[in-house]
């Protein structure tokens, strides 16, 4: 597993076949005990040791038990009955944003929601002006979604920061660490993907704000319904200066057979498949 996280994008992927609770806990355990120490803990000033029994108990409580419970709790936040559906700025999406924000605060992070509905949780560490490590994933879902597509990356990151907070190490970070729960990746409601992350990257066309859903509500209107105002000026202000970002990590369930075929629980991915959607009228 490579140790560098100084370029974008980079994802950690997990198997996405039928996953039992035991499998999920082992996956999360592997992520936190291997991936986070390699990638995140080097930004901490002092060397750390987790050999005492009390801290080991805390590892289990936060990185396995609580994280898994939260995955299933968030999986119940749905606009549909009997299956998971949580689209951009829907009632369930807004509820999920509030839940995630509360979890971020519980981890000791400074939180806010931006004008595109992205939920942020940040710790400035010892050097607030240093380039930040960003960790993120998306809180929206497809229709009839799995529990782990998106939330795994959000909840695992929050749990890691909560552990650092509970062990009095969060203030010793050499650089800022910011978790972002992106408001939209799937593009289900407006048929335009990556609304949240594209705004942060500064590549979302202003015209997208006027795209309408099947009920005639625009992106701008959907945000306004939830007390979020956005226009061309405020959209441009959402862009992160690339010079302010040290690296980006996203933990994501694998949506393919590679890890399963090779018998590996986790992999480091440097690129993902792109999509193109065409509407043809005959």
Q: Is residue 113 part of a domain?
A: yes
Cβ pair 197, 185 in contact under 8 A: yes
Q: Is residue 221 part of a domain?
A: no
pLDDT, mean of residues 238-249: 95
Q: Is residue 80 part of a domain?
A: yes
pLDDT, mean of residues 226-247: 97
Q: Which residue has the tokens 């057979």?
A: 257
DSSP H/E element including 58: helix 53-59
Beta strand pairing call for 177-182 and 132-138: parallel
> What is the C-alpha separation between 60 and 80, in angstroms, rounded?
33
Q: Is residue 39 part of a domain?
A: yes
Residue 107 backbone zone (phi > 0: left; psi -120 to 50: alpha; other: beta) = alpha
Q: Name the pTM for this structure.
A: 0.83
- pLDDT in the model for residue 260: 86
pLDDT at residue 50 is higher than 60: no
Q: Is residue 24 part of a domain?
A: yes
Q: Is residue 105 part of a domain?
A: yes
Domains of the chain: total: 1
Q: Is residue 142 part of a domain?
A: yes
Give the domain range for residue 172. Answer: 11-183+243-269
Q: Is residue 230 part of a domain?
A: no
pLDDT at residue 155 is higher than 60: yes
Q: Exposed, middle or buried, 106 (CB in 10 Å: 0-12/13-18/19+)?
A: middle
Lowest mean pLDDT among 107-116, 161-170, 197-206: 161-170
Beta strand pairing call for 132-138 and 119-123: unpaired
> What is the C-alpha separation between 55 and 145, in angstroms, rounded?
35
CATH assignment of the domain containing 54: 3.40.630.10
Residue 272's pLDDT band (cuts 50, 70, 90): confident
- pLDDT in the model for residue 38: 41
């Amino acid at each position: 597993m490579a140790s560098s996280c100084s370029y974008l994008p980079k994802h950690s992927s997990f198997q996405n076949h039928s996953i039992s609770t035991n499998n999920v806990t082992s996956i999360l355990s592997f992520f936190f005990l291997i991936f986070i120490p390699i990638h995140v803990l080097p930004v901490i000033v002092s060397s750390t040791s987790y050999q005492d029994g009390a801290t080991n108990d805390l590892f289990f409580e936060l990185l396995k038990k609580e994280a898994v419970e939260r995955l299933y709790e968030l999986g119940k936040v749905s606009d549909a009955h009997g299956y998971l559906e949580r689209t951009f700025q829907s009632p369930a999406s807004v509820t999920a944003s509030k839940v995630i924000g509360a979890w971020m605060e519980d981890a000791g992070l400074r939180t806010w929601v931006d004008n595109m509905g992205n939920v942020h949780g940040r710790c400035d560490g010892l050097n607030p002006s240093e380039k930040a490590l960003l960790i993120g994933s998306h809180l929206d879902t497809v229709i009839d979604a799995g529990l782990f597509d998106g939330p795994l990356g959000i909840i695992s990151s929050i749990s890691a920061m909560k552990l650092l907070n509970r062990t009095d190490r969060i203030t010793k970070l050499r650089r800022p660490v910011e978790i972002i729960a992106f408001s939209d990746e799937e593009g289900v409601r407006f048929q335009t993907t990556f609304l949240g992350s594209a705004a942060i990257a500064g590549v979302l066309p202003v015209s997208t704000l006027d795209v309408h859903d099947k009920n005639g509500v625009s992106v701008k209107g959907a945000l306004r319904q939830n007390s979020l105002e956005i226009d061309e000026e405020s959209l441009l202000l959402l862009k992160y200066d690339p010079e302010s970002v040290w690296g980006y990590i996203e933990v994501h369930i694998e949506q393919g057979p590679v890890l399963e075929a090779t018998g590996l629980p986790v992999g480091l991915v440097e690129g993902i498949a792109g999509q193109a959607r065409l509407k043809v009228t005959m």
